[in-house]
């Protein structure tokens, strides 16, 4: 009788183990938008459900996904907002009409200067994967505002150049508030749908910045304490100014002030308007950056094996922002500026072309690196041709991001994570690369520990 009871327990435990390891479900936010009928506004930020099933034949596949607007584990009577049945493919995706919008950030992270709680926090949307009523996996749409320091025991010994760091492309090209039909004309200008504060709170740690300088100053603009007009500097998408630089700098500084161990990389990569061949204007920008981040800027260091300082080294220094600067002449004047960061950019217009290019530079290690800077970034987004923009052949950057983002999650999760340093994308909530980066860094730490 005892033997039969033990066998029953083993059977139950095996079933639980199989269930826990053969299915995964996660939530993303669509980059697409669509017009609302009889209204000037557009619908955007709709929830996406993603799943991946890898079950042993004897376990059988999960067959149902339910989406909730609260944690079903805490409310057994909660009715699902959506039920997906008959999951016919081991890997899948479904775009819902559930609008996420721009909800308050949980854990106190919505205030920018208030009390903030460490650790990951769930927003209100949850998804659960079932087989015959048994939960195989679940997840929520969440933020990771302190992931680097939360994992300090595992990640502290890794050099900054070996980490997988989630980032955004053209990080300052976003819009506040609801979208309107007028915004459709900006379909090739906006690359993000969250401001920089929200990007950082979600877990982004690399910001791609392109700066323009404009001599004419808007009326009523104050001069800063050093006599420089901060308002002359803007975040640009190519030659079009989008966001005041001061807004982005303020978000980064606020984030560094309320976190104790997060490291942010600001890559001032290009200067498309008003700065080329103007050293005095570069010095004005450098003065503004130094004043804004005084006491937090990490001096450049290629570290051991050319991979940069470890996170432990960075934390010991008390400096937590890395500023890379795309003008080598200016870099030579300031010890705290990091040399230009290599961006691996394929200039591709199709998903197939982009993935073929990234296979070459990541798996075959053909990415050109700057040996003076241990950091390098994969720019994992599609690029429209000028004719695409003129005739709207691609449907806009949102459409292009939608075609590539969910596929990026799979490729980095399965193939590209090991060799990748920084990965930057458009409309970052449309992929799961923050979570993939965190899990990849844990695996990299385990590999490094095993080698020791």
The residue among 98 and 76 whose pLDDT is bigger is 98
Percentage of the residues of the chain whose pLDDT score is greater than 90: 68
pLDDT at 21: 55
Q: At what angle do helices 397-411 and 433-451 cross, to 10 degrees?
A: 30
pLDDT at 308 over 90: yes
The residue among 271 and 175 whose pLDDT is bigger is 271
Would you state the structure tokens that stand for residue 317, as one six-digit string? Answer: 């220094």
pLDDT at 97 over 60: yes
pLDDT at 84 over 90: yes
Question: CA 440, CA 424: separation in Å to the nearest integer?
Answer: 16
pLDDT at 367: 65
Q: What are the residue ranges of helices labelled H in 293-373?
A: 311-317, 328-331, 351-358
pLDDT at 55: 74
pLDDT at 286 over 70: yes
Question: CA 274, CA 297: separation in Å to the nearest integer?
Answer: 25
pLDDT at 384 over 70: yes
pLDDT band at residue 239, thresholds of 50, 70 and 90? very high
Question: CA 231, CA 195: separation in Å to the nearest integer?
Answer: 18
* Nearest C-alpha neighbor of 272 from the set 211, 206, 360, 357: 211
CA angle 191-426-42, nearest 5°?
A: 55
192-206 pLDDT tens trace: 999 999 999 999 999
With residue 42 as reference, give the H or E element that holds it.
strand 42-44
pLDDT band at residue 447, thresholds of 50, 70 and 90? confident
Mean pLDDT of 23-33: 93
With residue 165 as reference, give the H or E element that holds it.
strand 165-168
Domains of the chain, first to last: 21-143 (no CATH), 147-450 (3.20.20.190)
The residue among 243 and 86 whose pLDDT is bigger is 243
Mean pLDDT of 394-410: 92
pLDDT band at residue 388, thresholds of 50, 70 and 90? low
Residue 316: count other Cβ atoms within 10 Å of its Cβ: 11
């Amino acid at each position: 009788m005892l033997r039969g009871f033990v066998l029953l327990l083993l059977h139950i435990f095996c079933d639980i183990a199989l269930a826990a390891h053969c299915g995964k479900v996660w939530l993303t936010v669509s980059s697409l938008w669509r017009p609302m009928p009889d209204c000037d506004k557009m619908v955007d930020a709709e929830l996406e459900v993603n799943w991946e099933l890898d079950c042993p034949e004897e376990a059988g596949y999960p067959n149902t996904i339910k989406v909730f607007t609260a944690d079903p584990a805490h409310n057994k009577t909660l009715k699902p907002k959506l039920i997906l049945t008959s999951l016919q493919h081991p890997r899948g995706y479904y775009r819902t009409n559930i609008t996420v919008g721009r909800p308050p950030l949980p854990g106190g992270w919505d205030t920018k200067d208030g009390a903030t709680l460490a650790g990951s926090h769930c927003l209100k949307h949850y998804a659960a994967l079932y087989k015959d009523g048994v939960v195989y996996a679940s997840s929520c749409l969440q933020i990771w505002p302190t992931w680097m320091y939360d994992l300090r025991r595992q990640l502290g010994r890794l050099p900054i150049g070996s980490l997988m760091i989630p980032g955004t492309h053209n990080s300052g090209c976003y819009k506040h508030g609801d979208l309107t039909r007028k915004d459709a004309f900006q379909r090739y200008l906006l690359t993000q749908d969250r401001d920089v504060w929200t990007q950082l709170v979600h877990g982004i740690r690399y910001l791609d910045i392109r700066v323009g300088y404009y001599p004419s100053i808007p009326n009523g603009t104050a001069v800063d304490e050093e006599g420089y007009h901060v308002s002359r500097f803007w975040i640009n998408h190519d030659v079009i100014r989008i966001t005041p630089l001061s807004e982005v700098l303020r978000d980064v500084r606020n984030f560094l002030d309320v976190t104790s161990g997060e490291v942010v990389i600001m890559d001032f990569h290009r200067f498309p308007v008003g700065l080329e061949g103007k050293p005095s204007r570069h010095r004005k920008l450098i003065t503004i950056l130094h004043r804004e981040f005084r006491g937090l800027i990490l001096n450049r260091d290629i570290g051991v094996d050319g991979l940069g300082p470890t996170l432990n080294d960075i934390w010991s220094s008390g400096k937590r922002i890395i500023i890379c600067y795309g003008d080598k002449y200016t870099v030579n004047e300031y010890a705290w500026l990091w040399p230009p960061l290599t961006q691996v950019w394929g200039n591709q217009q199709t998903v197939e072309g982009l993935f073929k290019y990234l296979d070459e530079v990541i798996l075959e290690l053909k990415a050109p690196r700057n040996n003076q800077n241990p950091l390098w970034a994969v720019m994992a987004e599609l690029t429209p041709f000028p004719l695409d923009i003129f005739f709207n052949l691609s449907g806009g950057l949102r459409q292009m991001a939608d075609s590539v983002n969910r596929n990026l999650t799979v490729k980095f999760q399965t193939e590209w994570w090991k060799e990748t340093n920084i990965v930057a994308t458009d409309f970052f909530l449309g992929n799961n690369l923050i979570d993939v980066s965190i899990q990849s860094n844990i695996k990299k730490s385990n590999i490094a520990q095993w080698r020791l």
